[in-house]
Amino acid sequence: MKWKFPKFLIITLFVIFKTYGSHRILYVDQFYDILGNEQKENDLLEFTVQNGFDKIILYDLHKINKVYPLADERKNSILARFIFKAKINYGLKGVGGSGESAEFFINAIHAYNMSRINPIERFDTYNLEYEYWKKDANKNGGYYCENYLKKNGEACNRKTTFNFFVNSLKTMKALAKENSHKVTVEAYVGKYYKHEIEKISRYVDRLLVHVYVTDPRNGFNSANKRLEYLSDIKNMPKISIIYSSETMFMGGWLKFNSIKKGERIFIDSMQKTNKDLLRKINFTNFTYYNYNKLAKSIKYYNSINGGFEKFKKNENILAAN
């Protein structure tokens, strides 16, 4: 007997995702190899249109900044042209800039925004990428310990690295308010504690919660407890679930299954396991890390399924496969 997606769940999801927007978010890696190459830029933006992404987050801006200083309006026009094209020619609703410290936002990402008169050329989101929960990165000799904590005279442990993370968000929130157009603040989070996420949520408009699994059937189980922590938060931010298309995670699965199917499986698992959670948290959409790996998986999937399945603009991405 063929299993059918429950009608009541479709209605529930439609209301939730119609309210907040159900399109996907895409992390763009290796952007330094894309920017300025018209064909690669267009390939990226065509990919977003074809696969239901209406927002992108740009990685590798520290590398871009070395070649095209983001604070210098005389040299950052190459990025301004790309962002303008993404929004005007391809209809993206937002372009985010990712960084790992308040200093980089002050000196590069926010400085770039302040240098551009036209708001269409600016970033719409400040996205913090700092994995404070990773033990190896925060101990002596670790990346965060050596590059941030010790330089600020701090000990290297979870408490100090978490404080660094939160202080960066505070600064980013203040910077966002200096823009003449709306700029939101986002944070990527992984293995957090309840007291940590309560504090983080005060300073963000959206949380990107990683669900790094090889099969989406295991996705909700890996996220259930962490999402439960969010259900009691007073100032509830929007919540997006991150799937990784890296080879060690869902890259292989996505070669043989559609991204819609992976999303449907997560929502179905949530409904079966913890049906009250969907109404308790402000779950808005899915985010994918990263562009280059995902593009390869989808290219293979399309090759064995007769071409790409175009995403319909007003379609509820979670209600169908």
Sequential pLDDT tens for the chain (321 residues)? 333 434 444 444 444 443 334 589 999 999 999 999 999 999 999 999 999 999 999 999 999 999 999 999 999 999 999 999 999 999 999 999 999 999 999 999 999 999 999 999 999 999 999 999 999 999 999 999 999 999 999 999 999 999 999 999 999 999 999 999 999 999 999 999 999 999 999 999 999 999 999 999 999 999 999 999 999 898 899 999 999 999 999 999 999 999 999 999 999 999 999 989 989 999 999 999 999 999 999 999 999 998 766 656 555 444 332
d(CA 209, CA 216) in angstroms, rounded, equals 14
Domains of the chain: 7-303 (3.20.20.70)
The two tokens of residue 240 are 């997006």
Asked if 95 and 123 touch (Cβ cutoff 8 Å), the reply is yes
Tell whether pTM > 0.85: yes
Asked if 230 and 200 touch (Cβ cutoff 8 Å), the reply is no
**Residue tagged 């007003």 (tokens):** 314
Q: What angle do CA 250, 253, 258 make, to 5 degrees?
A: 105
d(CA 181, CA 124) in angstroms, rounded, equals 8
Sign of the dihedral defined by the CA atoms of residues 69, 71, 75, 79, in that order: positive
